[in-house]
Structure 1
Amino acid sequence: MSHVTTPGTSRATLRRIAGLALPALVVLAAEPVYVLVDTAVVGHLGRVPLAALAVGGTVMTLIAWLGTVMAYGTTGRAARRYGAGDRAAAVAEGVQASWLALAVGVAVALAMQVVAGPLAHAVAGGGEVADAAARWMRIAALGAPGLLLAAAGNGWMRGVQETRRPVVYVLGANVLSALLCPLLVYPVGLGLPGSAVANVVAQTLGGLLFARALIAERAALRPDLPVIRRQLAVSRDLLMRGAAFQICFLSATAVAARFGAASVAAHQIAVQLFFFTALALDAVAIAAQSLVGAALGGDDAEGARWLARRIALLGVVCGLVFAVLIALGSGVVPGWFSPDAAVRDQAMVAWPWFVAMQPLAGVVFALDGVLIGAGDVRFLRNLTVVATLGGFLPAIWAAYALDLGLGGIWAGLVLMIVIRLVGLLLRMRSGRWAVVGAVR
């Protein structure tokens, strides 16, 4: 059966979008808010620890990216099964996604003990910043299994339109970690490694809570290799899409590091704020994944198309709100994260670009959610690769060659958003994404 109202009942549909988007916003915002707290705490240790956190945090977003891929892929598959009236099958998708999450998380945690040093030196170019970043990464990587288990849990719960428990689990874990971070960094005296320990505590606790919720569903818990293989096939395109994004941000940090410690520290402030606004805008995209997937699973292609238009409009509105808030905070916000005048001055170089991209990003992230819910991830993969290889990477390496500083890096980010926006609007107009059925 369809869980999406028809176009004639728009008020009810808007309430349903809000009912999914607002809890998703809390869940999505919890981690970046913690990272912002972490950045502010570490920033007062000095320029080198903040630069080390910028390098280490950028590399560790690779793990968060794996979690996002897992959550999005699970949401789409679970939502279609839920829309077709089979909740048990939707939960079963979560079981197999959790086995996959645990295996990948353990492998990542072990691998980072070996590769953290080379990665940090490759990004930072050596020196004390790279050494400090490597120490931070080796500790922080121990939270990978919990982080990925929580991502899989979020995925299947969104698919079955469960909103309350993810908020409780994620907030509880992150509040504990936010309290631990300043305590471990300063009174306990661990310094920069203290922030990594706080990360591990939050991620492990979150993973355990989601695993307990899955066990309580009384579903069969045995690994099902054919289902896992199908999930891997779905995830392939999302992985390639995510890899393109990670190449972008790793390259941006590498270029910023070559402009000096003040530049890369300022880039850390701006990019963490960007991740915060991106994930907050993704709350609308997550509602789109769940509702569009359920509509198409229930054979309601017209309802899915109507939802896509409505969700794109909501994305624009949210993006405009963020643009106004960021512009108003331009003279204040950078100072929250660093007392260093050179760092604050460099942050202001990126600020106009950061403001300008928000309304465009609002539409892009919303339509990403529509296509992920529809299972049209191959198109998203191709579009992202084109935007990365044809837009962002040439722009930032030109910025390095021409000594354009952070302004050139952030102009490249805006260019990537514009290319993706054009491609998504053309795809929406074609209608080829709206394929009905329980699983695409």
Structure 2
Amino acid sequence: MTMLPQAEEITHRAVLKIAFPMMFAYLSTALVGAVSIAAIGQIGRADLSAGIAIGAILFDILFNSLNFLRSTTLGLTAIALGAGRTDKAKAILQRSLILAVGLGLVILVLGRWEIRIGLPLLGAHGTVLQAAASYAVIRVLSAPFALGNYAILGALLGRGRAIAGLALQLILNGTNILCCIWTVLVLHWGVRGAALSAVSGETLAFVAGLVWLRLSTGPLLGQGLTAAWRDGTGWRQMGVLNRDTLIRSLALLFTFAFFTRQGAVFGAATLAANAIHMQFFALSANCLDGFAAAAEQMAGRMIGARDTGGFRRAVRLTFGWSLISGAAITLVYLVFGQDFVALLTTAADVRADAGTSLVWAALVPVMAAGAFQLDGVFIGATWSRDMRNMMLLSLAVFLVAWAVLMPAFANAGLWAAFLIFLGVRGVTLGIVLLNRMKSGRILVAFGD
């Protein structure tokens, strides 16, 4: 067993050292789809633009549903390193990479069925379906690398290497953007060029990540890999954590999809207005995710180090920063929300509906701050069962609130139900955390 040097003190600076790079990393990711669609848009064919958008959505769903590879790797790694177990952290990385590449190969092998079934379900037909299929049949080649990058990013963040994580995301997204501009606008390869650009970005980032880990942690192959492969306990632990996190993620995806679908009841203008507000929330979520990443790493590290005081301080500081950020974003949207809406649409009816629901939408970031931050704490602490159960409870409350409020208050009731969902997530996770503190169980990680 190799011991680590003393852990970095939990300070405001330490929080920001992780949070800020990850904010920029997440924001850079948000640019990729926009650049691909914008590049294809220069061709002047709506069916190609729609095709690449639907194809990208298909892989967003496939890959994001497996994002547990990042969070589980992060939490287990932070705990192992907090306890000074670099050997265990390396074995966790090895198992995560095996699982990630294995799942990616499954997606690749089943790609024809995923494309044949998934694209029509997302509304693609005719020439749009042809364009989406042309994109998807190439983009599926990136699956092993895309999922491998989740594992690598989790390992980097678990080690507190947020700058390295940012660098890999910039390599991924920068390669994607530059290749997309070259292949689509210069070489005129169209949709296939955009797909090849995405594959190039994922592949180069994966290789760069492996090189960085090789230099910082030593060889990933050899005798250690055999031991990691044969560790049944480690695999069972990872399996349970991944299962719980997957259920939580699917419940969250269902909530967003259900919210969007219910907004369509009130007509196209309201649906578009709600979508614009949610687009702003998606952008602001990158800020909240940065502090969630800090909470993940610090909470896990303090549990591994058996440092109760450090854990409490990590929770307190990351919660404070997350709440301040959420409140600031809410204020910004209250002041500049109409300008943001006007930037995205010229339709008078959409602008009018967006103005009516602006206050509700502006409250989303501040209401979500606690849920994001506590999600980070629970991921880092590997309290996956509690996180899963509180998500399912929050979803049930959301559906009840929707059934009561939407018939009475129309779209405002829908937004109120969504705010209740976010608030209940934060409150229920907070109650579980307080109970753990009172019972002295905050240093109990999964499997302890």
Category of TM-score, reference length = shorter chain: 0.7 to 0.9
Is it true that 1:435 corresponds to 2:443 in the alignment?
Answer: yes
Structural mapping, 1:280-299, within 5 Å = 280-299=287-306
Structural mapping, 1:83-102, within 5 Å = 83-102=82-101
Bigger shift: 340-349 or 138-147?
340-349
Is it true that 1:228 corresponds to 2:228 in the alignment?
Answer: no
Structural mapping, 1:297-376, within 5 Å = 297-334=304-341, 336=343, 351-376=358-383
Shift in alpha-carbon separation, 1:235–1:196, aligned structure 2, 3 A: same
Structural mapping, 1:169-180, within 5 Å = 169-180=168-179
SS at match of 1:279: helix
Instruction: Find the partner of 1:244 among 236, 251, 260.
Output: 251
Shift in alpha-carbon separation, 1:115–1:393, aligned structure 2, 3 A: farther
Bigger shift: 417-426 or 96-105?
417-426
Task: Tell me which residue corresponds to 1:71.
Answer: 70
TM normalised by structure 1 equals 0.84
SS at match of 1:161: coil
Asked whether the equivalents of residues 79 and 297 of structure 1 are also in contact (C-alpha less than 8 Å), the reply is yes
Shift in alpha-carbon separation, 1:185–1:355, aligned structure 2, 3 A: farther
Task: Tell me which residue corresponds to 2:33.
Answer: 35
Larger Rg: 2
Q: What is the Cα deviation at residue 239 of structure 1? A: 0.9
Is it true that 1:425 corresponds to 2:430 in the alignment?
Answer: yes
Task: Tell me which residue corresponds to 1:416.
Answer: 421
CA distance in 2: counterparts of 1:97 and 1:389, whole angstroms: 32
Bigger shift: 17-26 or 93-102?
17-26
Asked whether the equivalents of residues 58 and 249 of structure 1 are also in contact (C-alpha less than 8 Å), the reply is no
Asked whether the equivalents of residues 80 and 438 of structure 1 are also in contact (C-alpha less than 8 Å), the reply is no
Asked whether the equivalents of residues 383 and 445 of structure 2 are also in contact (C-alpha less than 8 Å), the reply is no
SS at match of 1:435: coil
Q: Percent of counterpart pairs with the same letter?
A: 24
**CA RMSD, aligned part only?**
3.6
TM normalised by structure 2 equals 0.82
What code does the residue aligned with 1:84 have? A
Aligned residues: 432
CA distance in 2: counterparts of 1:262 and 1:283, whole angstroms: 33
Shift in alpha-carbon separation, 1:397–1:255, aligned structure 2, 3 A: farther
Bigger shift: 345-354 or 84-93?
345-354
SS at match of 2:337: coil
Asked whether the equivalents of residues 297 and 439 of structure 1 are also in contact (C-alpha less than 8 Å), the reply is no
Structural mapping, 1:116-131, within 5 Å = 116-124=115-123
Asked whether the equivalents of residues 4 and 295 of structure 1 are also in contact (C-alpha less than 8 Å), the reply is no
Q: With a CA cutoff of 8 Å and minimum separation of 6, indicate the structure with the bigger relative contact order.
A: 1
Instruction: Find the partner of 1:379 among 386, 389, 392.
Output: 386
CA offsets, 1:77-125, max 9 Å, x none?
Answer: 1111111112232122112111111111121233343123433333438
Task: Tell me which residue corresponds to 2:22.
Answer: 24
Task: Tell me which residue corresponds to 2:162.
Answer: 163
CA distance in 2: counterparts of 1:144 and 1:280, whole angstroms: 27
Asked whether the equivalents of residues 137 and 196 of structure 1 are also in contact (C-alpha less than 8 Å), the reply is yes
Asked whether the equivalents of residues 54 and 119 of structure 2 are also in contact (C-alpha less than 8 Å), the reply is yes
Shift in alpha-carbon separation, 1:215–1:278, aligned structure 2, 3 A: same
SS at match of 2:338: coil
CA offsets, 1:302-351, max 9 Å, x none?
Answer: 32122212211111111122223333442343455566667666665664
Q: What is the Cα deviation at residue 63 of structure 1? A: 3.2
| Unaligned runs of at least 5 residues, structure 2 | none
CA distance in 2: counterparts of 1:258 and 1:130, whole angstroms: 26
CA distance in 2: counterparts of 1:423 and 1:263, whole angstroms: 31
| Unaligned runs of at least 5 residues, structure 1 | 6-11
CA distance in 2: counterparts of 1:157 and 1:402, whole angstroms: 48
Shift in alpha-carbon separation, 1:66–1:95, aligned structure 2, 3 A: farther
Asked whether the equivalents of residues 296 and 381 of structure 2 are also in contact (C-alpha less than 8 Å), the reply is yes
Asked whether the equivalents of residues 248 and 388 of structure 1 are also in contact (C-alpha less than 8 Å), the reply is yes
Bigger shift: 380-389 or 36-45?
36-45
